Structure 1
Amino acid sequence: MVTSSVAAAQRVESLSSSGVQSIPKEYVRPQEELTSIGDVFEEEKKKDGPQVPTIDLKEIDSEDEVVREKCRQKLKQAAVDWGVMHLVNHGISDDLLENVKKAGKAFFELPIEEKERHANDQASGNVQGYGSKLANNASGQLEWEDYFFHLVYPEDKRDLSIWPKTPADYTEVTSEYARQLRSLATKILSILSVGLGLEEGRLEKEVGGLEELMLQMKINYYPKCPQPELALGVEAHTDISALTFILHNMVPGLQLFYEGKWVTAKCVPNSIVMHIGDTIEILSNGKYKSILHRGLVNKEKVRISWAVFCEPPKEKIILKPLPETVSETEPPLFPPRTFHQHIQHKLFRKTQDTLLSKKV
């Protein structure tokens, strides 16, 4: 457990509320990135150019085969073209979504000293709990966010001792949301399986099935930033997960790198944003995309997002393109690796890229 005096110095919320007019240099992005960081509110208003697709799941299980297939085809196409989409009519009630958001917001509204009781200790490998990013690359750069991270499903693998006790309904609403998301993940994976010409349950089996697929929730808290044109809430990355589901508090910030340009996602009421992660990109041999994305910050509003990463077990499964996705004209694009090896490969490559850019 990190002592509050040490940890508080690392909290972006403390920095933001201290009234600083300029951000510390470790939060300033490299020059080549700064040219692409604009005002997120202006960016969200843009009507020209590509837009993140919205997929209406209302007819996903329609008894009318033509209607059902049309809906499923749209989802598959969004996974092929974008690898990210807004899901509406997803079957999870607006009330539950609101209660999840209220509970997470209430935790972050607690005094920092209170939140520090849940602090993680990244140095010792204990990543669950309340934290801020430590520099994990050679540049020493930091992101403008604090977070709360914990495993939410399967239920027998959770550590409820680190879950917030305040607000009182945090465990109840978060557990129910995780259960319903897990069912939604099964549905999505079965559609993506069929889209590859596989049997319905295949992708789910390949990522660990009901027993082994882990749902990890990360509540991202992006405080107001006095110089949002210099910082990022989350730097550009692809998700390592199979699927990622995201809620947010209707403050824009998510950007996707699509066809060579950064596209700002609109805020779609009652939607869940869904990303295809690296795991599914690998299994599909690149047919489904894991899109590069990042988070912008602003000086007017706090942004909060709730990301749930559906991750395969770290060591039990070898991730590689499924045989059915490979042919003479489509050789495997990815070498066999465990999920853990894939994470290590990405961290190593990022560190090497940073070192090389410093030498140039």
Structure 2
Amino acid sequence: MEVGRVQDIASSALFSGSIPAEFVRPDPEQPGITTVKGQLLAVPVIDFKNPDEDSVIKAIDDASRNWGMFQIINHDIPNEAIAHLQAVGKAFFELPPEEKEVYAKPPDSKSVEGYGTKLQKEVDGKKGWVDHLFHIIWPPSAINFKFWPQNPPSYRVANEEYRKHLHGVVDKLFRSLSLGLGLEGHELKQSAGGDKLVYLLKINYYPPCPCPDLALGVPAHTDMSTITILVPNDVQGLQAFRDGHWYNVNYIPNALVIHIGDQIEILSNGKYKSVLHRTTVKKDRARISWPVFLEPPPEFEVGPHPKLVDQDNPPKYKTKKYGEYAYCKLNKIPQ
């Protein structure tokens, strides 16, 4: 068993009114000091049902070049499917500790799948105020149901229903990004893994924290995925780095938050930017989010798309296996 679940630490911390030193961020990272107060960042909002396809493609292209993130509304995933996904995820984290530990990530595992706390190499021993659960939801050949909770009983049904609706969103995002880059509609997804693209679901659970100005749920990072599709609960906490400052992102209810990840930045040879973001925590409420990371298979090689490279635009990134890229990223090894 991995020691020190944040959910357990939070119970003691709320009673004492303080947090352990390893959760106190250095001054340049503390949200109480570094967040722009009183201003929400209105990231682009894109209507996925807009009948003018060219307009949708242009909006996604602009947001991916200039923001690295956007929100989509009218995405055809029923609100009920999202609410069910949220309900079963919340119920899992409300189980007694011993029931959650059944799904703990094995100590010797090379995969991120399972229930856990530490994900990547910690800088200066500083920890994030978050526990998590990872498991793959697509393709079927990559799913390991050992990491899917059996309690609550409808957990699997809720996740499979959400995944079923997600496919259309994924295909439309990849097609729009591909056309925005001047490629054929199918080419970007094909270069990211095609039908073998892995949908990795993560539930982030950020317990209430007595010192939210000092701690971060997840410190500043870009996602190593191609695209991340995120559903939060109603407790806001996502921040993005913009023009040298940290801003709270204005989340629209029932929207999907889209992050451009490192692999799309690589494939686009830098035309699209992966977004630098972080997560804050709240004093009196738990924040929960459900990102799905769209990842190439581990052995799949990703590099700048050949059509986006020429004498005037030499490759800005190495071509390497995604598994190798992920290992370096998690262990803070230069790429």
- In the superposition, the TM-score normalised over structure 2's length comes to 0.93
SS in 2 for 1:218: strand
Answering whether residue 263 of structure 2 is matched by residue 263 of structure 1, we say no
Answering whether residue 46 of structure 2 is matched by residue 52 of structure 1, we say no
Q: Over residues 113-170 of structure 1, what are the superposed CA-to-partner deviations in whole Å (9 max), with x where a residue is unaligned?
A: 2111211124443532211116623522211001111011112321113211111111
SS in 2 for 1:313: coil
> In the TM superposition, what is the alpha-carbon distance from 1:332 to its structure 2 partner?
1.5
Q: Please tell me whether the aligned partners of residues 34 and 245 of structure 2 are also in contact (alpha carbons under 8 angstroms).
A: no
Answering whether residue 236 of structure 2 is matched by residue 252 of structure 1, we say yes
Q: Give 2:97's aligned residue.
A: 112
> Which one of the candidate residues 6, 11, 30 is aligned to 1:17?
11
Q: Please tell me whether the aligned partners of residues 150 and 217 of structure 1 are also in contact (alpha carbons under 8 angstroms).
A: yes
CA–CA separation in structure 2 for the residues paired with 1:333 and 1:139: 30
Number of matched pairs = 332
SS in 1 for 2:271: coil
CA–CA separation in structure 2 for the residues paired with 1:347 and 1:166: 30
Answering whether residue 257 of structure 2 is matched by residue 273 of structure 1, we say yes
Answering whether residue 186 of structure 2 is matched by residue 205 of structure 1, we say no
Q: Over residues 260-305 of structure 1, what are the superposed CA-to-partner deviations in whole Å (9 max), with x where a residue is unaligned?
A: 1112111211011011110111000111110111001121211000
SS in 1 for 2:46: strand
CA–CA separation in structure 1 for the residues paired with 2:333 and 2:24: 18
SS in 2 for 1:46: strand
Question: What stretches of structure 2 of length at least 5 have no aligned partner?
Answer: none
Q: Please tell me whether the aligned partners of residues 202 and 290 of structure 2 are also in contact (alpha carbons under 8 angstroms).
A: yes
| Aligned residue identity for 1:256 | A
Task: Quickly say closer, same or farther: Cα 1:347–1:105, change in 2 above 3 A.
Answer: closer
SS in 1 for 2:247: strand
Task: Quickly say closer, same or farther: Cα 1:351–1:335, change in 2 above 3 A.
Answer: closer
Matches within 5 A, 1:16-165: 16-18=10-12, 19-34=15-30, 36-37=31-32, 43=37, 46=39, 50-59=41-50, 62=51, 67-133=52-118, 136-165=121-150
CA–CA separation in structure 2 for the residues paired with 1:157 and 1:275: 23
> Which one of the candidate residues 297, 300, 313 is aligned to 1:313?
297
> Which one of the candidate residues 277, 287, 290 is aligned to 2:274?
290
Answering whether residue 312 of structure 2 is matched by residue 329 of structure 1, we say yes
| Aligned residue identity for 1:16 | A
Answering whether residue 329 of structure 2 is matched by residue 346 of structure 1, we say yes
| Aligned residue identity for 1:227 | C
Q: Please tell me whether the aligned partners of residues 138 and 351 of structure 1 are also in contact (alpha carbons under 8 angstroms).
A: no
| Aligned residue identity for 2:11 | S
Task: Quickly say closer, same or farther: Cα 1:342–1:25, change in 2 above 3 A.
Answer: same
SS in 2 for 1:139: helix
| Aligned residue identity for 1:324 | K
SS in 1 for 2:141: helix
Q: Please tell me whether the aligned partners of residues 282 and 320 of structure 1 are also in contact (alpha carbons under 8 angstroms).
A: yes
SS in 1 for 2:125: coil
CA–CA separation in structure 2 for the residues paired with 1:300 and 1:24: 18
CA–CA separation in structure 2 for the residues paired with 1:240 and 1:282: 10
> In the TM superposition, what is the alpha-carbon distance from 1:171 to its structure 2 partner?
0.2
| Aligned residue identity for 1:10 | G
- In the superposition, the TM-score normalised over structure 1's length comes to 0.87
| Aligned residue identity for 1:23 | I
> In the TM superposition, what is the alpha-carbon distance from 1:72 to its structure 2 partner?
1.9
Task: Quickly say closer, same or farther: Cα 1:190–1:122, change in 2 above 3 A.
Answer: farther
CA–CA separation in structure 1 for the residues paired with 2:108 and 2:117: 12
Q: Please tell me whether the aligned partners of residues 235 and 295 of structure 1 are also in contact (alpha carbons under 8 angstroms).
A: yes
Q: Give 2:211's aligned residue.
A: 227
CA–CA separation in structure 2 for the residues paired with 1:347 and 1:148: 16
CA–CA separation in structure 2 for the residues paired with 1:177 and 1:275: 19
CA–CA separation in structure 2 for the residues paired with 1:215 and 1:165: 20
CA–CA separation in structure 2 for the residues paired with 1:102 and 1:33: 32
Q: Please tell me whether the aligned partners of residues 38 and 229 of structure 1 are also in contact (alpha carbons under 8 angstroms).
A: yes
Task: Quickly say closer, same or farther: Cα 1:16–1:86, change in 2 above 3 A.
Answer: same
Q: Please tell me whether the aligned partners of residues 16 and 223 of structure 1 are also in contact (alpha carbons under 8 angstroms).
A: yes
Task: Quickly say closer, same or farther: Cα 1:236–1:122, change in 2 above 3 A.
Answer: farther
> In the TM superposition, what is the alpha-carbon distance from 1:33 to its structure 2 partner?
1.6
CA–CA separation in structure 2 for the residues paired with 1:115 and 1:175: 20
Q: Please tell me whether the aligned partners of residues 121 and 127 of structure 1 are also in contact (alpha carbons under 8 angstroms).
A: no
Identity of aligned residues (%): 41
> In the TM superposition, what is the alpha-carbon distance from 1:236 to its structure 2 partner?
0.6
